[in-house]
Amino acid sequence: MKSTRRTHRHAPLIALTTCAALTLAACGVGGGPDDPGGGEAADPSAPIRAAWWGEDNQNQALDEAISAFTEAGGPAVSVEPQPWDGYWDKLATQVAGRDIPDVVMQAASQLPTYAGRDALLDLSEVDLDLSGLDEGIRDFGSIGDQTFGVVAATNATGFVTNADLLGELGIAAPEGEWTWDDLVAFANEVRTGSGGEAWGVQDGSGDMILFILYVRDSGREFYNDDGTINATADDLRNWFQLWADMRESGAIPPAEATAEASGNLPGSPLATGRAAASFAWTQDYVALQSVTDSALDIGLPPYNAENPSLWINAASLWSISAWSQNPQGSADLIDHLVNDPEAIETLGVSLGIPPTAAAREQLVDVVSDQERPAVEYMDLVAANSRPLNRLWPDGFADSRTLFGQLAESVAFGQMTIDEAVDAFFADAEG
């Protein structure tokens, strides 16, 4: 197995969020379910509306790429960019009026809801070729035997380490196959080697994504196929205990320090040099470069080659309205945005890391030194991951919030581990 770590020394920050670069081809015209266009035939020249959430740099890149699509002979496109706040309220209102844009950006947590409202076209109707996608995300937008979204942007969790600090201490970062017990040993080695001046890793006890990795490390899935929870009370009890033991030994920050740094990237223990490591999404790894002078590496979280726990996450997906009067044109627009070399160059990584090896290969030599390790890391993830068995079920966001609250209560001694476990499963199974 090749090296599981990527390194970068600080450089000027260029924004990296979600990405819409992938390889697919679209051909043929498919109508929506039950002829949602009101009995009218699809019109390949009909104007298209496209909506997404984004910041100014993302909007500008998409505007330029979409303009090129129309100039190359595609139908006219009116764009409806929105900030994240307010995006879903507006989309819900549009669904009620059967008036959502032809091409619409979706989130994995929201896709089942909109598909369940019959608002999205089954993409098998437009014969999209998804073979260029990383294998782990080809079916990410599928629900049952229907496909309602194509991954437009990817991210993944990584183990980020301060290479300078570890070099000073003479401690190697874990790589290759390693376990959660190895994490404990690593964190304690940093504490001991620094004479108690540095913590080994930031407290990840309240990160439900990490707990999902912990469960999947055994080869099991966190959720059953029907959306019920498959993790056990013993899993969560062991998880909280693992972090409690490190907190007691001084291998991770005390609860007060963790709470103080919450939501404050520049003030985080990793950024300030007080911790040697942290778990972070790829886009957060890039953001960390701007707030520290240290060299940062990114590598796989605890990794079991027999049962890889990591998955490629869909940061966003492209869907087509079930009521679109121009599904072929909508598919052509998506194909242009994600497959056309000039569009890929225009978008760069302004939207995120592409979900195909071909697009990443095109961009890896033109992105900044700061972004390159994250792009390369996604190739590593693609080769060492296992797809999720299903999209997040309804209520996932609330469960994730509760999980963090319970972990904090345990850390502050306001709840016992058993009380927190009981509370989580009472909610999850209620």
pLDDT score for 146: 94
Question: Is 90 exceeded by the pLDDT of residue 16?
Answer: no
Locus of tokens 């969020």? 17
pLDDT score for 6: 61
Mean pLDDT for the stretch of residues 306-331:
95
Residue ranges and CATH numbers for the domains of the chain are 17-155+313-370 (3.40.190.10), 158-310+391-428 (3.40.190.10)
Burial class (CB in 10 A: 0-12, 13-18, 19+), 6: buried
The two structure tokens encoding residue 188: 């304690």
pLDDT score for 13: 33
- The contacts of residue 113 (CB under 8 Å, 6+ apart) are 394
Q: How confident is the model at residue 356 (pLDDT cuts 50, 70, 90)?
A: confident
pLDDT score for 18: 35
- Tens-digit pLDDT profile for residues 65-98: 999 999 999 999 999 999 999 999 999 999 999 9
Question: Is 90 exceeded by the pLDDT of residue 349?
Answer: no
Cβ(119)–Cβ(66) under 8 Å?
Answer: no
- Tens-digit pLDDT profile for residues 374-423: 999 999 999 999 999 999 998 999 999 999 999 999 999 999 999 999 99
Least confident of 108-112, 168-172, 346-350: 346-350
Closest C-alpha to 146, from 229, 32, 21, 51: 32
- The contacts of residue 298 (CB under 8 Å, 6+ apart) are 5, 6, 158, 159, 160, 161, 280, 282, 285, 373, 374, 377
Q: How confident is the model at residue 220 (pLDDT cuts 50, 70, 90)?
A: very high
- Global confidence as pTM: 0.86
